[in-house]
Every structure is written in C-alpha cells, then in structure tokens.
A and B are shown apart, each in its own frame.
Chain A
Amino acid sequence: MMEKEPFSEILKPLFSLGGIAGVAVIREGGVVFNSLPYQEAQSKVLMNEVAALFQGYRTAGRSIGYIVFHWDDLTLVLHGAGTVEYVVALHQAVVLNAVIGMLPGLDDAFARTLREIDVSKRQVMRIRLIPWAASLRTLEGALSKVVSDSQAKKMIERKLVLEKIDVDRPALQATVERFAMGVFANIGHKTKQKLLLSEFDAYLKTLN
C-alpha cells in the first residue's frame, strides 16, 4: 500500500535540503511512501533487499544506525533504527550529513501518523455495506413463514417504494436492519415479530 499524504508533509523538511532524488519509507516490509526515481518493479526489488538487509541485523540483535552506498552520481542512505526504514537517494553527497541528522527526528511523526491510519482503517472496516438482494431474499423467506409468499413479496416491495430504496446500491447494516423492522411491524402479532426479527438478526450476524 502506498500513500502520498500525509507522509509527504512529514518529509517536507527533508526535501527542502535539496539534492534529494527521492525517498522511500518502509514499515514491516511494506512500502508506505515511495518517490524514488525508479520503475515500480525496480523499487519493489530494492525495497525487498533493504528490508532483508535490516532484518539480518535485527536477527543478529543489532540495531544499525545507517548504511550508505555511494556511486559517483548517486548516494543511497538507508536508515532503519526506528518505527520505519528509510531509503533516501541523493544526487549530491554534500547533503549526506544533514539527511542522516534529520531522519531519526522524523520517526515520531511517522509513528503517530501510522497509528492514526491504523485506527481509521479499523473504523472503516466496521462500517460494512450490505447488498440488498441477499437481505431481501432472507427477509422474504422469514416473512413467508407467517404470511403467504405473494403477501411477503408485496409487503417488501411496498416498503421499498415507500423508503425510495435503490436495491442496486449496497446499504449500511443499520439501514437494512431498520428496513426489516419496518416490514415486520406490519405483522400484528408481537411474538411473531420478535421471532422474525431474531431470525433476521441471525442472518446479519453471519455477514460479520
């Protein structure tokens, strides 16, 4: 997974040093930011090699500060002592010390932002969208136990029109649940209503 924002904001001071060809940030083997001037396939291999290099040091119980590979026109700085690992490509080795000095200071901001993203992802996962078709079939099947099939179908269709529901668009679980309760409310018998509702709830639980 790759996200430009908000990581590019964190990396702004680094880029402002000048002479930076690109930066990649890796967490637990996954790339969270990549602006290196290489094709995607090349970057992927590079990231894998860097992750393996740092993993080797960790396995040996060592925390390496930074590693530099220097070519005439390119310097790669690898830093892996914090929450994330960095690969910084430099056009000009003259900014090398400034880059090395700055990277550890960015770690807190990365850790905080990654935590926030993890939390928001979990929240998104809780908001599930449910397709109407399967829910309406289950609803109709439950209703058919207390009214005729054609009656069940009509009750549902009436409610769909009344609520102006587009059955081709998946809905929130709460919306589907509220719709079912509305349909069951047409059943005069309270005990039967409760039974139908618990049957429908059981179906909804199978979706989680």
Chain B
Amino acid sequence: MRTEEMSYRRFEVHAGQLSAPLDQDGLVSLRAEIEYLTFYATAIAKSIGRRREACSSILAAENQQLVSREGNISGELKGLLIPGGMDAKAALDLVARRDD
C-alpha cells in the first residue's frame, strides 16, 4: 500500500495541551508513551555521543500499530499515529515530510 493511501492521525502539543483525534484516555496514554520513548532517546543519544535533538524520528510498533513522532522539537510534541499495514521505512519517510 502506498503512503498516500494510508490514513494517519496527526497530534501536536502546544503549551501543554495535546490535540489529537483521540479520547482523553488515549491522549494520556499517548503522552506517557512519547515521554517514555523521548526519555530513552535522550539517554541512548547521550550514550553514543549524539544530540537527542538531532534524532529526527522515534518509531515504536506494537500490535501492528505504529506510533511515530518528530523529535526535532523543543518544548512541544508532534507526531503521527499510523495504522498497521504501513512498513517502518514508509512511516519514517512520512514523518520526514514536515509539510504533510
């Protein structure tokens, strides 16, 4: 399936407010997940002498669902919820398209 044919949901956080087409429980879980992954992205980047801010994408797959985010952001979160069926490389490419 081509990237263009996939449906995905964008989420963003500004000033602590998370907006995404999810219910409240979903938002809380999503935020916790991203914070958890971001914490380890920072630790892992540090361990190999890289800047976490330069880590452009974090992608996690579970139960055929991908959670992906743009990491090159300070003080806010952005990302995409991508349904199962899209492969990892396509998900990374999709996140890389900032104007999407």
Q: What residues of chain A have their CB less than 8 Å away from a CB belonging to chain B?
A: 38, 42, 45-46, 49-50, 52-53, 56, 62-72, 74-76, 93-94, 96-97, 100
Contacts and interface: CB of A to CB of B under 8 A. Distances in A.
Contact of A49 (B36, B47, B57, B61): B47
A45 to B, nearest CB: 4
B28 interface: no
Find the residue from A63, A67, A70 having the highest chain B CB count within 10 A.
A70
18 contacts: A42-B47, A42-B48, A46-B44, A46-B47, A46-B48, A50-B44, A62-B62, A64-B61, A69-B44, A70-B55, A70-B58, A71-B55, A74-B50, A93-B89, A96-B89, A97-B88, A97-B89, A100-B88
Given A70-B92, A96-B89, 15 more contacts: A42-B48, A45-B47, A46-B47, A46-B48, A53-B40, A56-B36, A63-B62, A64-B61, A65-B61, A67-B58, A69-B45, A70-B58, A71-B50, A75-B92, A100-B87
A200 B27 CA distance: 72
Given A46-B48, A71-B50, A64 B60 contact: yes
B49 to A, nearest CB: 7
A206 B29 CA distance: 57
A69 B41 contact: yes
Given A53-B40, A56-B36, A68 B47 contact: no
A188 B8 CA distance: 92
Contacts of A64: 60-62
